[in-house]
């Protein structure tokens, strides 16, 4: 019997968690989370970790299983997720994967891309530039050297920008040129289910989610993490803006609006990333779950 990995894809706040749980319940399957921000147990509110009710409605893996003090790479996640899938597919020939991190999703389905070694001095220089001139200077440089990567990677994350830039500078080729290697062999067939919405609806959902996070205690959560603000895991939307407020560089109202703005930008890049994948079966985010299930079952049969 063939194995299948159903992957629920879409922009942040579009409703992937709810759909993945309904699919898991229908197919009696378990869920692999590949949201790289939800790995960390100290970051609950700002990463929109599924609620206790959602986590008990279907078995999830890789939710709050790491600490921000651990270094956890996409390569390590790929290995861990494939091992877990081997276990799950022994019990059921179908598993569910969900998450907003396209890099992590692709690592599980297709394997990681190969990147050549470059001089560590390049990264050191880029880190100096980040410290002295700010992230905007790195964003501008990446836009000049590799527009495709600028439009697809998480450019609010300095770690991601520096990684792309060091490849561009160290090899003389674009970062995106190294992302086209043949797909890795897997013991499952992927079925990608994409959720879409009009941009205005998507942005309204994001704004509302941020307001809910604030009501739930995001500011207090960020205060506890503030002493560790330089950790790589915390270089992410929702925390970085509040750290800037704690530093006295802006008002709280401005920080909250920046969270909304940067989350909308992130969602826009997710949409751009996903549009390039012709294997995704797209549905409006309000589509009845029975229609999605019927589509999946027709693909399996």
Number of H helices, E strands in the chain: 13, 6
User: How far apart, in whole angstroms, are the C-alpha atoms of residue 267 and residue 16?
Assistant: 13
CB-CB contact of 24 with 88 (8 Å) = no
Annotated binding-site residue? 184: no
Annotated binding-site residue? 13: yes
Annotated binding-site residue? 15: yes
User: How far apart, in whole angstroms, are the C-alpha atoms of residue 139 and residue 144?
Assistant: 9
User: How far apart, in whole angstroms, are the C-alpha atoms of residue 212 and residue 255?
Assistant: 15
Annotated binding-site residue? 14: yes
User: How far apart, in whole angstroms, are the C-alpha atoms of residue 7 and residue 35?
Assistant: 12
User: How far apart, in whole angstroms, are the C-alpha atoms of residue 89 and residue 72?
Assistant: 25
Annotated binding-site residue? 17: yes
Annotated binding-site residue? 10: yes
The count of C-alpha atoms lying within 13 angstroms of the C-alpha of 119, restricted to the half-sphere facing its C-beta, is 9
Tokens (6 digits) for 88: 């799950």
The count of C-alpha atoms lying within 13 angstroms of the C-alpha of 66, restricted to the half-sphere facing its C-beta, is 20
Identify the bridge partners of residue 95 per DSSP, sorted by sequence position.
Answer: 5
Tokens (6 digits) for 149: 């990567």
User: How far apart, in whole angstroms, are the C-alpha atoms of residue 199 and residue 132?
Assistant: 35
Annotated binding-site residue? 174: no
CB-CB contact of 50 with 63 (8 Å) = yes
CB-CB contact of 162 with 127 (8 Å) = yes
Binding site for ATP, by residue number, is 10-17
Residue set of the binding site: 10-17
- For the annotated binding site for substrate, the residues are 12-17
């Amino acid at each position: 019997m063939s194995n299948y990995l159903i992957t629920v894809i879409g922009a942040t706040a579009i409703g992937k968690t709810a759909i993945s749980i309904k699919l898991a319940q229908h197919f009696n399957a378990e869920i692999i989370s590949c949201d790289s921000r939800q790995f960390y147990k100290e970051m609950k509110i700002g990463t929109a970790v599924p609620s206790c009710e959602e986590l008990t409605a279907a078995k999830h893996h890789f939710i709050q299983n790491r600490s921000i003090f651990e270094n956890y790479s996409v390569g390590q996640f790929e290995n861990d997720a494939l091992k877990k899938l081997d276990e799950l597919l022994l019990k059921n020939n179908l598993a569910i994967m969900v998450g907003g991190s396209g890099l992590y999703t692709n690592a599980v389905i297709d394997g990681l891309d190969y990147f050549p070694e470059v001089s560590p001095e390049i990264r050191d220089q880029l880190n100096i530039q980040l410290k002295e001139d700010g992230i905007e200077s790195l964003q501008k440089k990446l836009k000049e050297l590799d527009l495709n990567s600028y439009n697809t990677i998480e450019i609010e994350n300095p770690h991601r920008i520096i990684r792309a830039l060091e490849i561009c500078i160290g090899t003389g080729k674009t970062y995106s040129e190294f992302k086209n290697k043949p797909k890795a062999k897997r013991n499952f067939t992927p079925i990608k289910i994409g959720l879409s919405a009009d941009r205005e609806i998507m942005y309204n959902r994001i704004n509302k989610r941020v307001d809910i996070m604030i009501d739930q205690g995001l500011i207090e959560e960020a205060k506890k993490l503030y002493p560790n603000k330089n950790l790589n895991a915390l270089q992410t939307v929702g925390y970085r803006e509040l750290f800037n407020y704690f530093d006295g560089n802006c008002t709280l109202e401005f920080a909250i609006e920046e969270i909304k703005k940067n989350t909308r930008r992130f969602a826009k890049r997710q949409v751009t990333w996903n549009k390039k994948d012709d294997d995704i079966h797209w549905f409006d985010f309000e589509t009845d779950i029975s229609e999605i299930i019927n589509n999946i079952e027709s693909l399996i049969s």
